[in-house]
Amino acid sequence: MNRTLVCILLGACAATAHVQADQLPSLGDSSSSYVSLEDEYRLGRDWLRQLRANTQPIEDPLLEEFIENTVYKLLPFADMPQKEFEFIMIDKRELNAFAAPGGIIGVNFGLFLFSEDEDELAAVLAHELAHLGQRHYARGVEQAQQQEPVAIATLLASLLLIATNHADAGFAGLMAGQAANIQNQLAYSRDWEREADRIGIRTLAASGMDPEAMPSMFEQMQNSQRIGEAPPEFLLTHPLTGSRIADAADRAAQYPTEPRLVGIDFLVLKQEAQMRYQLNPEQAQAEYLTTLDKPGISDALKGASLCSLASLALKQNQPQKAIDWLNQVPANLQREPVVLSRLARAKAQTGQLDDAIRLLRQQQVYRPNSYVLADTLADILDNGGRSREATTVLKDLSNQRPGNPLIWKKLSIAAAHADQQVTAYQANAEYLYLTGDDARAASQLDMAIQAAAKSGDFMRQEALKERLRQITGSTDPKAPPRRS
């Protein structure tokens, strides 16, 4: 199988077919001979780099950390063969999510517009984890070997378009390729989608979330079509029928219902999605002021609305107004990272740099793994002329999250400000590599090697040479990078 077809196959995993629960193969069956877990991991990372190069991701620490925390809450109950995940957030308002082999989870930011609570959003993620947990990609590759190569390419290339950023073109490709084997593949996928629903519902229940969230989310998807809107992208790769909704409802009813979660982070992200896709600043401000006037609103909704008003004030260069809004956040939420991040940024903008830094460092003692707090601290330090300290924070973050392009990008900028040339070149190389620009990544690494040699840091020079060989896929450091 050539590399191009492999990459197309990877894109298809958001919609590849599944078999009935009683036909599930073990991880050691024939599907593993087609695609091993190691292959899935390596090829999945390659596919993610290509996806970043061809779509518009949202780089938001709060968004990434929320999706990550939700996935890791589900993970112990999802029977996953792999334990390492990477996340990508797509800047699109349509409802969609997808999974790629090797633990790649993608979410359209617009998913927050359709989800009424965290359980409904988690239901979509539980469904995607079921696709990964059952290794549907590897089994789809095994099944595809029995089809005509041209038909496979037609099907998978179309599904790649749907899974990324060209749903209309991808769906048109499927409609144009009405070969019998493509029809059979899509029909088979409906059985596999029901399998993912069943496993996802079981995962929700085991993790303490409401299993009824799965059918209720499906009903929202179906209702969006009834009022004349285009079908959600999720439905183009995950066909939804009345019988599938009924089956999900019947299965969810076998478990006890649980209270739905609606926390401040979820509500802030939902409001940010509204401001991004639905409301202009004036409308948003009016909306959240009206919300604050409603009697009996929850602390989470009050806190989220105040955070959103503070964000609007910061964008309007009114940091003191932002501080005034944030001081009204309920006391039980004032130490949440989403609140502290905005408060620290507002304080820094009013010239209270030391207070902002002290506030963040104090809270990091209690939340040492908070990406939101660390990212905010790095920004404030770098913008405040303390770039050397910022590079230290960002180096720690890059060790914790080596697959995150935003961290490498910020590290490159802070290191350049701190006159740390080798680090600046190396971090920029990692950013370019993770976003699919192999040639420029190799060029930046070459400059880092030269800078390390000039400074006499020969151990680092050799380490950089090894990294260059990994990126180019060659034993010759000067060889051109391999093509994805």
Tokens 């990550």 correspond to 68
- Written as six digits, the tokens of 187 are 């029909």
Cα separation of 218 and 195, whole Å?
Answer: 15
Rg from Cα positions in the chain: 24
Tell me the pLDDT band of 476, cut-offs 50, 70 and 90: very low
User: What is the full DSSP assignment across 341-368?
Assistant: HHHHHHHHHTT-HHHHHHHHHHHHHH-T
Cα separation of 480 and 484, whole Å?
Answer: 12
CB-CB neighbours of 118 under 10 Å: 23
Mean local confidence (pLDDT), 64-82: 91
pLDDT at 15: 36
Convert the pLDDT of each residue in 113-156 to its tens digit: 999 999 999 999 999 898 887 654 555 555 555 544 444 344 44
Residue whose C-alpha is closest to residue 374's, from 353, 347, 393, 395: 393
Q: Residue 5 gets which letter from DSSP?
A: H
Cα separation of 215 and 245, whole Å?
Answer: 6
Tokens 């009114």 correspond to 318
Cα separation of 205 and 455, whole Å?
Answer: 57
Mean local confidence (pLDDT), 250-256: 96
Cα separation of 329 and 342, whole Å?
Answer: 12
* Residue 222 buriedness (CB in 10 A; 0-12 / 13-18 / 19+): middle
Residue whose C-alpha is closest to residue 329's, from 298, 362, 361: 298
Cα separation of 436 and 97, whole Å?
Answer: 21
Identify whether the C-beta of residue 137 lies closer than 8 Å to the C-beta of residue 9: yes
Q: Which residues pair with 100 in a beta bridge?
A: 104
Element (H, E) at 89: strand 86-90
Tell me the pLDDT band of 17, cut-offs 50, 70 and 90: very low
- Written as six digits, the tokens of 45 are 């990372």
Mean local confidence (pLDDT), 454-480: 80
**Percent of the chain at pLDDT exceeding 70:** 75
What predicted TM-score, i.e. pTM, was given to this entire model?
0.84
Cα separation of 468 and 432, whole Å?
Answer: 13
How many helices and strands (H and E) does the chain possess? 25, 3
Convert the pLDDT of each residue in 161-181 to its tens digit: 544 545 455 544 544 444 444
Task: Kindly tell me the sign of the dihedral angle through the C-alpha atoms of 227, 229, 235, 239.
Answer: positive
pLDDT at 356: 98
CB-CB neighbours of 381 under 10 Å: 24
pLDDT at 39: 74
